[in-house]
Chains A and B, each alone.
Chain A
Amino acid sequence: MPPPLPAVGPGLDFQPGDHICAFYNGGGNNLDDIVVDFVSKGLRSGDKCICFMDTPAGVRDRVPGELIRKDGILQFYTEEEGYLPEGNFSKDAFMRGMEATAKGTLSSGYDRLWLIGDTSVVIRKSIDLKAWFATESAVSEFAPRYPQFIMCLYNLDLYDGETVMYVLRTHTRIFVNGLIITNPYYIPKRQFLGGR
């Protein structure tokens, strides 16, 4: 297990192994603002950054060029490429992919992995919410096993309150109003899966 790393910036108290949920409102630059801030901190630390988002142009343009110190340090994938590598959502396949990505990052010489992904594909592809949040719950237990920061982005225009409550139950940390706080409503995987 790598040693814990210091926080990477004021106001954003990232901790390795974080699995953070963040909510944004569609129709504005809210999503891009969060992604740009997240990957900029990762790149500034020389870490590998991966984004799952369908419209990365706004982010790509806003990330300072001097932070791209080597090829492949910042990678963009569509949400389907990231979440549905086999065409359908599969918790096991996704988790294998996450494992491979974490290991690949480290083997490529990076100390940490910063992974952020939008989740609009869940609605667009009508992914089974039960499977999805089972996966989110698994990610919360997977994340601390590697020096990585994982942030999931949910559009409040797309999700109802019930789903939001699932999001809150499955993420250990919450990015809200510019701060990262520990989620008091998080329910560990065993309890979450058992309680549903």
Chain B
Amino acid sequence: MTSTAGDMPSTNDLDPAAEARLSSFNAVFTLSLILTQASSPAQVMRLVTTSVPSIVSCQQALIWHLARSGEYYQRAPEAISEVLAKLTGPDLLKLDDFAPSWAFPISSPLAADQIFLVVVDSEGLSDEETFLLSVLAQLSGTVIAKLELIATEQASAQRIAALNTELESTVSTLTRIMEVHHRLNEIVANAGEMGIAETLHQLTELGVFIQDAGGNTRYATDDVPGDYLKREPADQRRELIRRLQGTRRPVYHGRAWLVLARADILGVLALVDPARTASEVDLAALEYAATVLSVELARLQRVAEAERRSRATLERNIAQARAAELAASEARQRAILEAALDAVISIDQRARVTYVNSAFEHIFGYRADEVTGRELAEAIIPAGLREAHRQGFTRYLATGEAHVLDRRIELTAMRADGSEFPVEIAITRAGVTGGPAFTAYVRDITERQRAERELMASRARLVAASDAARERVTRDLHDGAQQRLVTTLINLQLAELKWESGPERARELLGLAIRDAKRGIEDLREIVSGIHPAILTQRGLAAAIDGLASGLPISVELDIPDSRLPAPVEASVYFFCSEALTNVVKHARATSAWVRVTLAEDRCAVEVRDDGVGGARPRSETSGLNGLRDRIGAINGTMDITSPATGGTALRASIPLSADPP
């Protein structure tokens, strides 16, 4: 449908008054539509006040506000404000100095303010005009309410948008700060100060350095200029540290942001920022890096403390172990000394006795408490040797010249009872702290010297016996066998000479030669049997001794096992019995004798006993008994004799079965 002005027949059919009313109605209607497109309450008020004179006959239209004036409204007169405040519908206002006016409340459901469309008309409005203006005022109020609502929503939307923007910025900042925390947390455990500095450098792209409280640089990234790392004067540095301790925020100082790492060891973390361009995130990274650095410094301190404690514990343990070892060693040494057979005497640098062992007490006849504290020389050195000892001791202390230290020497010592005896002594120096101390190891060599003397005598007897035996064999050979052989040789030579001329004589001489040869052989056998009887080798000990006994003029009872013994043992037992039985026959004046040989695990015991006069003693160093003793001793055997004066003699020997030949 096309709508044009020519297609509007209705208005042409109306009377002029109705047409005017309809036109005014249409004007209010279309204006109301346009008002809905207004952008602000002020625009609504402007359009309404300027359009009303085109709609109704009036002098002026305006907007009153109960409380204030504005661009398109003015404050209602004070005198009428109370009436206006109570106004709920259009009303005629009559004021002094003011043309009669109609007031139409512009109700806005959302507006707290009360505003009114005021139409000034001295001639008065018709009912229809009042109605139209009431409608216009109400519609205006509705539009204003809508616009206020939209404005509120837009403001809210703007606030929300602003909040969103702020929130996005905050989230972005927090995200970066979280990233900073995450990156720095990653390095705490394993990267140390260098890792902290390098990570902060990567996060901020600014130079980073770490210093201690005194200004000594612990670490700096490569891009930190050298002048940043110069040390400040001590008083300025102390003032700076005080400033940093007063805040947890970074402080801008010397073209760098500084923050304090708070551990027992103070550290200063710095962000080089000459242009002062560090962002909030950069400074947050610096702050958190300082926290991480604090943790790192605390960790380093704990490690150092732990190492110190561990070292102290180790040293204490070692000291305790050493002390225990020393105590154990001393105890062992003391036990050894106490168990030692030698006398041990310790003296201090004044030659006072500080310690003696049990053997000392036994050897010297002192109790330890009797000798401890006394001068050594006075206690154990014979009077004639004391002065020499004292001089030597003094000389050593003065010059270090030692004649007796660390070697064995033989001296004469003195017992508590004043008796003197030979000792072998070895002196060692000890004691590092508290001056020198000396320990002497003293061995009583009385028995040893006696044994040595006996050994010497025994050896001499053996030599003498050996020489006597050799002389006897020589003599026996010379007087016996040799003579028999010489006679045999002479008789054989004579027999040879008489072989042709006197065969009888030759035969007689040959018979003599045979006799002498036999006698010579017997003589040789007899000599040899004195050295090692053949029967012993061929038939054993029992048969050999039985052979000895059978030729004696007394009764001899034998108790000898038939078993064979090592040859040296059999020989030693044979000669022991031979010598003993010979002595019985020669000296005991006995009528009977007994020979008993018994075998133990590793020894052979032999006893020769008689019923003679007793009281037997070796008559000289070369007596037979001493010879026997020497022979038995030569194969580590022992011999003793029991021969009481009341009668009867028993001679016993004990010989090891493993005895080597003498």
Contacts and interface: CB of A to CB of B under 8 A. Distances in A.
Binding partners A and B = yes
Given A160-B50, A176-B37, A165 B2 contact: no
B26 to A, nearest CB: 4
Contacts of B244: none
Contacts of B43: 25, 156-157
A24 B39 CA distance: 9
Contact of B30 (A24, A174, A191): A174
Interface in A176-191: 176-177, 181-189, 191
Given A15-B1, A164-B31, A176-B34, A184 B46 contact: no
A157 B42 CA distance: 10
- Give chain B's interface secondary structure class: helix
A188 B4 CA distance: 8
A54 interface: no
Interface in A158-173: 160-166, 168, 172-173
Contacts of A157: 39, 43
A173 to B, nearest CB: 7
A85 B48 CA distance: 35
B5 A161 contact: no
- Give chain A's interface secondary structure class: mixed
> How many residues of A sit at the interface, in one of the four size bands?
35 or more
Contacts of B50: 160-163
Nearest to A24: B37
A172 B5 contact: yes
B46 A161 contact: yes
B54 A165 contact: yes
B51 A165 contact: yes
Interface string B342-369: 0000000000000000000000000000
B4 A177 contact: no
A182 B33 CA distance: 12
A80 B533 CA distance: 174
Contact of B47 (A161, A182, A188): A161
A16 interface: yes
Interface string B222-258: 0000000000000000000000000000000000000
Given A161-B46, A164-B47, A188-B8, A4 B26 contact: no
Given A140-B5, A162-B50, A165-B54, A185 B37 contact: no
A184 B27 CA distance: 8
Contact of A184 (B2, B26, B48, B54): B26
Given A15-B1, A182-B3, A185-B23, A176 B51 contact: no
A111 B405 CA distance: 145
A182 B2 CA distance: 9
B38 interface: yes
Interface string B48-61: 11111111000000
Interface residues of B, number: 30
Given A144-B4, A172-B5, A176-B36, A160 B47 contact: yes
A32 interface: no
Nearest to B37: A23
A185 B34 contact: no
Contacts of B31: 161, 164-165, 168
A163 B635 CA distance: 163
A188 B3 CA distance: 11
Nearest to B48: A161
A162 to B, nearest CB: 5
Contacts of A141: 4-5
Interface in A115-152: 140-141, 144
B34 A162 contact: no
Nearest to A4: B2
A181 B55 CA distance: 21
B612 to A, nearest CB: 164
A177 B36 CA distance: 8
B575 interface: no
Given A25-B37, A160-B50, A177-B36, A188 B30 contact: no
Which has the most chain B C-beta neighbours within 10 Å: A141, A188, A189?
Answer: A188
B47 A15 contact: no
Contacts of B553: none
Given A164-B47, A165-B27, A165-B55, A16 B34 contact: no
Interface of B: 1-6, 8, 23, 26-27, 29-31, 33-34, 36-39, 43, 46-55
Give me the 10 closest cross-chain CB pairs, A-B, nearest first: A161-B51, A188-B5, A161-B50, A160-B50, A25-B39, A185-B26, A165-B54, A185-B30, A161-B47, A182-B3
15 contacts: A15-B1, A156-B34, A156-B43, A156-B47, A157-B39, A157-B43, A160-B51, A164-B47, A165-B54, A166-B54, A176-B34, A177-B33, A185-B23, A188-B6, A191-B5
